[in-house]
Amino acid sequence: MTDVLAPCAGRLLPIAETPDPVFSAEMVGPGVAIDPAPGETTVVAPIAGKVVAMHPHAFVVLGGDGVGVLVHLGIDTVQLDGDGFTLLAAEGDEVLAGSPIVSWDPASVAARGFSPICPVIALDATDDLLADRFTAGAVDVGDPLFSWN
């Protein structure tokens, strides 16, 4: 079982409340969303593993047990072409849960007209494989979000 931890602090939301139909309908996979706290934020790895995809606005960490977790920083933020994001890790890096990956300011992204909501997705999973999924309330970095069987 893999425990997926909060990559940033904020307010936890059910994935269905993500303002993007691909994420809210769990087309990419089940998960949760975080409405991040405003201000400069360092987003961390939600699991230990290898960074297999790295973009300024999103990254995937693949755990040793073959589970992949996508963290997407904001909605449609790919349109920012990396502006406002600072990479702290690179594709191919081995990371521990809690390792710094990207820094950004969700408030500045929101000021530019983009939602700062951060989906945290269990890739290629089905909803029945997730246990102990939390979907409401405040979370701090490193708090448990869900377990993946």
Known catalytic residues are 72
Q: Where are the beta strands (DSSP E) in 21-127?
A: 31-36, 41-44, 49-55, 58-62, 68-72, 85-87, 94-95, 100-104, 118-122
Q: Are strands 68-72 and 58-62 parallel, antiparallel or unpaired?
A: antiparallel
Q: Do the beta carbons of residue 71 and residue 65 sit within 8 Å?
A: no
